[in-house]
Structure 1
């Protein structure tokens, strides 16, 4: 038994490599975030963590990901895949679940460095974890969400087969905004012509699918 079997997990797409976060990757991820994730005048994230970057140089961000790793449990888990293009960190793609062995549902979220946006990387990252969930873990439903006005994210979701599943009010900067909940059933997933390559799953599959 490996003390941390998730370290062997790798997802590969035509252009990207996704691995669960480690410390060296997190330090690179902080640099990507500090270079910009979104227009400062707009908050596209449910939790406004980017507002703190200028004050603590990414200290809170690193602690958040450390906390995610420390809280990992078989029945309540989240994997933060650091995405790399040509060896460079470009962002993070998350996937998580509670009681996956019974519910067979996952949730996803992601962000990209501003300079890497507009190249289809966000779509490719999400397809990678959706194929991972549906084809390798046996998930039946994937959930996501985006602000009503986040047209880019909502276009990606619609293209992949997601449907609206209601809205919820959130206030990331103290003002109410409408967040669209999205649902994708495995049978409705609009697949690309390529398939994600998955390595190292045998070492950690029991942790994820129990």
Structure 2
């Protein structure tokens, strides 16, 4: 992946990119052609103060664009935008690291790089964090949305030259007397695809448009889910499912948690969800969780999905340990683990509460190691 400098000869490509994608967390989510043409004419994309770059993936596809401005100052700013179809694929953190590499590689020694976003733009906030930026400000009612005629909170993230060069992340000292802690990432997280297949299933990262499919499956399976899943206790609604997916997408982008949606390859039907959770990249180790729609139980789909996800964890992510944890009384979940070849390592007595909070439960720990 790399940055390719935009030129005035590519004006039409820029206009097409900006007007055919949507920008829900920007002041103008659907900019028109006239607006982009005017910005180009006034030097908004190329001048002594501004440089614009295409974000290109390994196949040379233009998956995003970034504008770096205030280049005459010691503290440049940037505006990073990823195309609709390319979101959720991990391009954001990689692009942001490339932006930092460009800025701190300039002959004029820039002292820091910063960016701003709306407080509820979780994907962008995770992108900042994944790229080594630190939250430095939270401004209440500072981001106006003309479309909604409403103010949102704004947040500022920054990275210093020293942190970038040393590969460290130094938190802000918010109170006098606090001592800063320096975090050094223990292990590079590998690149990996966001979808893969088994014999009958497509297993892929979640998308926001999956919400209606997931909601229907949850609604049809509530009786069974509520026995074991605390998140299934409230009556599900579309906005709740969408909010859950936004968080899952953000966590997938930043590699903090990897939720997967499972679709039937022949029919295209949503049949359930799984994923790799409680991730410790320093080992690396993962926990597989799963639930299956009531309509598709009894056909071996979840066992097939778990076997494939386990293979993905060991082969693509370099896992040294993969676990499955489930309630001792959840015999369906236990049978999936056993059919997938996981070994029961132990049972933790009185380890958790039932979803209603009234009963102490035992937890089975199944595992495979490399």
TM-score (ref. length: structure 1): 0.75
| Per-residue deviation, 1:162 | 2.4
Distance 1:51 1:33 in 2: 11
Residue 97 and residue 38 in structure 1: after superposition, are their counterparts in 2 closer, same or farther (change >3 A)?
same
Alignment partner of 1:144: what SS? strand
Q: 1:185 Cα deviation (Å)? A: 2.7
Say which of 128, 133, 142 aligns to 2:313. Answer: 133
Give the deviation of 1:179 after TM superposition: 3.7
Name the one with the larger helix percent: 1
Structure ranking higher on relative contact order (CA contacts 8 Å, 6+ apart): 1
User: What is residue 208 of structure 2 aligned with on the other side?
Assistant: 23
**Cα 1:116/1:38, change in 2 over 3 Å:** farther
Please list the CA deviations of residues 113-157 of structure 1 after superposition, one character each: whole Å capped at 9, or x if unmatched: 111111111101111110000122110111221111111211221
165-174 or 121-130, which deviates more: 165-174
Select the structure of larger CA radius of gyration: 2
Give the alignment of 1:67-146 within 5 angstroms: 67-72=247-252, 74=254, 77-85=256-264, 86-100=267-281, 102-146=282-326
Whether the aligned pair in 1 keeps the contact of 2:279 and 2:287 (CA below 8 Å) is no
User: In the alignment, which of 216, 239, 246 is matched to residue 59 of structure 1?
Assistant: 239
Partner SS state of residue 319, structure 2: coil
Does residue 182 (structure 1) correspond to residue 365 (structure 2)? The answer is yes
Q: State the distance in 1 between where 2:359 and 2:216 align.
A: 30
Q: Is the 8 A contact 1:38 1:44 kept in 2?
A: no
Deviations 1:66-121 (A, max 9, x none): 123234575x6112111011211111111134341x21101110111111111111
The answer to whether the 8 Å contact 1:104/1:138 transfers is yes
How far off its partner does 1:61 sit?
2.9
Q: Helix, strand or coil: the match of 2:224?
A: coil
Where do 5+ consecutive residues of structure 1 fail to align? Answer: 188-210
The question of whether the paired residues in 2 share the 8 Å contact of 1:146 and 1:153 is answered with: yes
Alpha-carbon distance in structure 1 between the residues aligned to 2:367 and 2:345: 9
Segments of structure 2 that go 5 or more residues without pairing to the other structure are: 2-62, 64-81, 83-87, 92-192
Superposition TM-score, scaled by structure 2 size: 0.45
Is the 2:258–2:277 contact (alpha carbons within 8 Å) kept by the matching residues of 1?
yes
1:155 maps to what in 2? 335
Comparing 63-72 with 128-137, which one deviates more in the overlay? 63-72
